[in-house]
Amino acid sequence: MTYDFNFAVVWRNWDLLAEGLMLGLFLALVSIAIGCVLGLAAAFGMLSRHRALRWISQCYVSAIRNTPILVLILFCYFALPQLGIAMDKIPSFIFTLSLYAGAYLAEVYRSGLVALPPGLREAGLAIGLTEWKIKRYLIIPVMFRNVLPAMSNNFISLFKDTSLAAAIAVPELTFYARKINVESFRVIETWMVASLIYVGACVAIAALLRRLEARLSIPR
C-alpha cells in the first residue's frame, strides 16, 4: 500500500486533542469520585442485614452492570427530561458515568469486604469500638488497600468509557478525532494519534495508580 503519511494536519489540531483529553480526564475523575462513594454505599447495602436494602442495592448493581453504557448515556440524556430531569450534556454524562462507576466499584468493594477475615470486626468489638467506628477505622481502610489493584483496572476502563461522551456530542478526545477526521481526510493519522493518546493516557494512569498502590500497601 502506498499511502503518504501526513501527520501535519493532525498536529495542527493538537490544541483540540489536548482539550479533548483534558475534558475526558476531568469527566473520569469527577465520575470516579462520585462512583467511589456510591459504590461503597451499594456494597454495604448488598451485605446489609435489611432485606429491602440488600434487594435495592443488588438491583442497582445488576441492572447497571448488564446494560450497555451507551444505552444508559442515551437514556439519561434523551429520556430523563421526559420525567422532568433535564441536564446539560456534560452533567448528564457525569451523572451516567457516576452511576456506572458506582455499580462496578460496588462489586469490587463487596468482594473486598467478603474477603476480610471476621477476626477484624471481632478484634474491634473486643477493644470496645462501635460498629460505625469499626467500619470507619478498620474495615474500610483494610478493604481499600486490598482492592486497590482491582479499582485501578476499573478506573482505567472508566476513563476509556469517556470516549462514549462523543455520542451525545460532548467535545472530548473522540469527538475531536472524528471532527478532524471529517475535516482533514487524514483518516489513518487521525485515528492512530487518537488511539496512541488513549493508550498513553492509560499507561500513565496505570503507572500513577501503581505508585499509589505501592505507597498505600500494607508492608508484609
Residue appearing with cell numbers 447497571: 64
Q: What is the 3-state secondary structure (H, E, C) of 109-153?
A: HHHHHHHCCHHHHHHHHHCCCCHHHHHHHHHHHHHHHHHHHHHHH
User: Of residues 48, 58, 111, 163, which one binds other proteins by CB under 8 A?
Assistant: 163
**Is residue 83 within the footprint of other proteins (CB under 8 A)?**
yes
Shortest Cβ distance from residue 145 to other proteins (Å)? 22
Shortest Cβ distance from residue 146 to other proteins (Å)? 19
Specify the stretch interacting with other proteins by CB under 8 A; choose among 10-18, 37-45, 196-204, 208-216.
Answer: 196-204
Please say whether the beta carbons of 205 and 22 come within 8 A: no
* CB-neighbour burial class of residue 144 (10 A; exposed 0-12, middle 13-18, buried 19+): middle
Shortest Cβ distance from residue 215 to other proteins (Å)? 24
Residues binding other proteins (CB under 8 A): 1, 3, 62-63, 66-72, 74-75, 78-80, 82-83, 160-164, 166-167, 174, 177-178, 181, 185, 187-188, 190-192, 194-195, 198-199, 202-203
